[in-house]
A = this chain, B = another copy of it.
Amino acid sequence: MWLRPPREPRQTLSLGRIVAEAVALLDEEGVARLTMRRLAERLGTGSTTLYWHVKTKDDVLDLALDAVFGEVPLPDAGGDWRERVREVIGGWRAALLRHPWSATILDRPLMGPHALDHTEALYAALAAAGLEGPRLKAAAYSLANFVMGSVIMQVTAEGHGDAAAFLRERAARYPLLARHGLDCDWDAAFADGLGFLLTGMRDGGGTGAPT
């Protein structure tokens, strides 16, 4: 008895533990290192064991992404609707930027419980502003597209080398880009864009049909 190795007090595996470890792995090592084998290793199991808890590696990614949305607190109702929208959308942005790998992973349905809770909250904030029908839908759609796009653009820009220097060398061909593409204040650009959308969806804009 005493000579036997002291029976690893390792917690039993569970979906929750798998997802938490996946997020940690993604944070620490990046998306390319998320491997069923590597994940299992960090959990102290064989890779094939994961397949009892999860159907495929894609499941792990879906769950990890939803966990990011789970970090965002839901806004409380009431108050200025504009402020509430800024809170929801800003919350998404902050959470996604905290986990840059999520930008690489945004090309999958946001149908997890946390994502849905937040999307519903966004609709609620817009409905409180008096929007309804296709107009409400268009507003929610635009805002969601805008955040997703922002995060992806920022993460990829920050991740890949010195684009500014690259553009400066080509200032002759791309004068406007070279002048403005540099020294990004991402937060300000984001706030401005959000401002455009918010005032746009108040002041008509209607079906946006070309004239």
Q: Mark A residues whose CB is within 8 Å of B.
A: 80, 82-83, 86, 103-104, 106-109, 111, 116-117, 119-120, 123-124, 127, 134-142, 144-150, 152-153, 155-157, 160-161, 163, 166, 170, 173-177, 180, 185, 188-189, 191-201, 203-211
Contact = CB atoms under 8 A, between A and B. Distances in A.
Given A111-B163, A195-B205, A199-B200, A119 B210 contact: no
A207 B188 contact: yes
Contacts of A145: 145-146, 148-150, 152-153, 193
Considering the complex of A and B, which 10 residue pairs feature the smallest CB-CB distances, nearest first? A195-B208, A145-B149, A200-B200, A196-B200, A142-B193, A138-B192, A149-B149, A123-B176, A195-B205, A148-B149
A108 B160 CA distance: 8
A201 B208 contact: no
A106 B104 CA distance: 9
Contacts of A149: 144-150, 152
A138 B189 contact: yes
Contacts of A141: 150, 153, 189, 192-193
Most chain B beta-carbon contacts within 10 A, residue among A127, A166, A196? A196
Contacts of A189: 134, 137-138, 141-142
28 contacts: A83-B211, A86-B210, A104-B107, A106-B152, A109-B157, A116-B173, A116-B177, A119-B174, A120-B177, A123-B180, A138-B189, A138-B193, A138-B196, A139-B196, A141-B153, A142-B189, A142-B196, A144-B153, A145-B145, A146-B146, A149-B149, A195-B206, A195-B209, A196-B205, A196-B208, A199-B203, A199-B204, A203-B203
A189 B145 CA distance: 11
A195 B200 contact: yes
Contacts of A146: 142, 145-146, 149
A152 to B, nearest CB: 5
